């Protein structure tokens, strides 16, 4: 995997559907721009009617999907994708949507998540002579569908596709957009690990990773596609269908803590309100004698958390770090010195807020410590009197099998370390994490995956 600074790496984002009048490509681009936080490596759009045309490139949406290339795309149906590589490298062949022509018809796929069976299925295909053009597990899904259904894509039914996914990728965490001739289908796995939202709009019918992607549309209704559900969209309307009753719901807490936009509603909870609550709970876990002069967030996902911490503690909230919005949210930097430089370019400290103050620095998580160490160094250089690091997630001590790129255990800063040892390593006066039991007050019910907080390899759900 590629480790991007101190953060857990973003997931992919998907957007697609049907536009009632005119070309869908501008709507897809607009939706992907609002999902840019989910992936900055590459972006792609596939649209058309009888023939599907694909434009995809490395980089951010505005660069990868420049208007000069989008103007050649036409059609009412289409799908799009912003990519962070959870499986497979970042070469161009892996950029989605993936399109193939089978029996004279085009079919394309965009995928958010990770399917654990992809490697074994790929090896089986290769042993019988199949050739793969990419290293992405998304191509495995598409080839599996073609191999199983063995008929023109226009004849594929929702039920047949769902059964193939359930039979072959039951241990996967996926949200899939499938673009068939004059139809778009979407599927959310039985665990519901990643979110999938649908909007019935005056402009058309659209599916996306987050409901923030629908902002700006004339929305009549927004519906969350539930685990083991999917939707089939045609020019005549849409139908939401349940394809399995054996769902064992396992939603990722980091969608709320870090991945998703603050403006989104994920798993029936508003992300911003969740982060406010996490900040409040973090302060309530502090020692009674703890005090500071200023609470500063690590932007952007730490913003709501710091506001909640400040409201609960009465410690004044200030933007002591200004984020450079022209920098990507995360960036691959293979060498330590380049990762450190990236942090300095991404954050600009406000000295007047920091100098002579006891600072409590609020972030969503501590993964490897690179970003936190560099930020804390900045605060000391600006004359901070004390720097207390606080994380609104518990210690991350385990890896993830569900498509979240968390480093190996040995690279995790919290793995087999005390708070005091972590504080010394990143140069902080003190470090504190949200206790695991405090999550129960925010993430209720036995439907949340918190495996990364638990050293037990087999434990997934909250107790």
CATH code of the domain made up of 13-246:
3.60.20.10
pLDDT digits (tens, 9 = 90+) for 309-324: 999 999 999 999 998 7
CA angle, 425 as apex, 424 and 431 as ends, to 5°?
60
Q: What's the pLDDT band for 11 if we cut at 50, 70, 90?
A: low
pLDDT surpassing 80 at residue 345: no
With a threshold of 0.75, does the pTM exceed it?
Answer: yes
For residue 232, what pLDDT is reported? 98
Q: How far is CA 445 from CA 267, 439, 440, 451, in A?
A: 12, 11, 8, 15
β 358-363/386-391 pair status: parallel
How is residue 183 written in tokens? 């139809």
Residue with structure tokens 């694909």?
54
- Closest-CA residue to 240 (of 228, 227, 231): 231
Q: What's the pLDDT band for 89 if we cut at 50, 70, 90?
A: low
What does the pLDDT average to over 150-178? 94
The DSSP result for 61-127, as a single string, is HHHHT-HHHHTT---SEEEEEEE--SSS-SSGGG-SSEEEEETTEEEEEEEEEE-TTHHHHHHHHHH
List, by residue number, the catalytic residues: 12
User: Which residues, other chains included, contact 28 with Cβ-Cβ below 8 Å and sequence gap of 6+?
Assistant: 15, 16, 45, 47, 78, 79, 80
| Domain ranges across the chain | 13-246, 254-453
- Closest-CA residue to 400 (of 392, 391, 409): 409
CATH code of the domain made up of 254-453:
3.40.50.2020
What does the pLDDT average to over 217-239? 97
**H/E element, 387:** strand 386-391
State whether residue 152 is helix, strand or coil.
Answer: coil
List the single range of 50-54, 165-169, 331-335 with lowest mean pLDDT: 331-335
**H/E element, 118:** helix 118-127
Task: Round to whole Å and give the CA distance between 306 and 316.
Answer: 10
How is residue 318 written in tokens? 């200030």
In contact, 241 and 232? CB cutoff 8 Å = yes
In contact, 409 and 415? CB cutoff 8 Å = yes
Task: Round to whole Å and give the CA distance between 461 and 296.
Answer: 31
Task: Round to whole Å and give the CA distance between 204 and 75.
Answer: 13
């Amino acid at each position: 995997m590629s480790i991007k600074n101190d953060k857990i790496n973003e997931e992919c984002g998907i957007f697609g559907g049907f536009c009632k009048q005119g070309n869908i490509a501008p709507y897809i681009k607009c939706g992907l721009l609002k999902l840019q936080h989910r992936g900055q490596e590459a972006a792609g759009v596939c649209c058309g009617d009888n023939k599907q045309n694909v434009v995809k490139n490395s980089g951010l949406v505005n660069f990868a999907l420049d208007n000069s290339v989008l103007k050649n795309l036409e059609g009412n149906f289409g799908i799009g994708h912003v990519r962070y590589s959870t499986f497979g490298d970042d070469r161009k062949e892996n950029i989605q949507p993936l399109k193939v022509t089978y029996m004279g018809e085009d079919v394309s796929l965009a995928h958010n998540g990770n399917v654990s069976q992809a490697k074994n299925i790929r090896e089986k295909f290769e042993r019988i002579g199949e050739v793969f053009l990419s290293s992405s597990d998304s191509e495995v899904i598409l080839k599996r569908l073609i191999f199983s259904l063995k008929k023109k894509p226009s004849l594929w039914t929702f039920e047949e596709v769902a059964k193939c996914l359930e039979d072959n990728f039951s241990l996967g965490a996926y949200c899939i957009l499938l673009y068939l001739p004059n139809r778009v289908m979407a599927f959310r796995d039985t665990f519901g690990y990643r979110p999938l939202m649908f909007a019935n709009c005056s402009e058309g019918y659209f599916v996306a990773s987050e409901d923030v992607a629908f902002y700006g549309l004339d929305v009549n209704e927004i519906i969350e596609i539930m685990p083991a559900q999917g939707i089939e969209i045609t020019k005549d309307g849409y139908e939401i269908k349940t394809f399995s009753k054996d769902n064992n719901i396992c939603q990722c807490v980091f969608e709320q803590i870090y991945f998703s936009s603050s403006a989104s509603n994920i798993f029936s909870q508003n992300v911003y309100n969740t982060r406010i609550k996490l900040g409040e709970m973090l302060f309530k876990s502090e020692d009674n004698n703890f005090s500071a002069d200023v609470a500063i967030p690590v932007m952007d996902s730490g913003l709501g958390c710091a506001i909640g911490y400040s409201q609960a503690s009465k410690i004044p909230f200030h933007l002591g770090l200004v984020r450079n919005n022209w920098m990507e949210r995360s960036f691959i930097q293979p060498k330590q010195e380049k990762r450190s430089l990236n942090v300095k370019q991404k954050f600009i400290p406000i000295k007047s807020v920091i100098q002579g103050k006891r600072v409590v620095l609020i972030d969503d998580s501590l993964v490897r410590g690179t970003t936190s160490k560099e930020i804390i160094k900045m605060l000391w250089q600006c004359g901070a009197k004390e720097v207390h690091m606080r994380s609104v997630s518990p210690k991350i001590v385990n890896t993830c099998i569900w498509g979240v790129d968390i480093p190996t255990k040995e690279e995790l800063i919290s793995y087999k370390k005390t708070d005091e040892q972590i504080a010394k390593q990143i140069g902080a006066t003190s470090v504190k994490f949200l206790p695991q039991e405090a999550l129960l007050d925010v993430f209720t019910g036995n439907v949340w995956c918190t495996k990364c907080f638990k050293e037990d390899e087999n434990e997934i759900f909250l107790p």
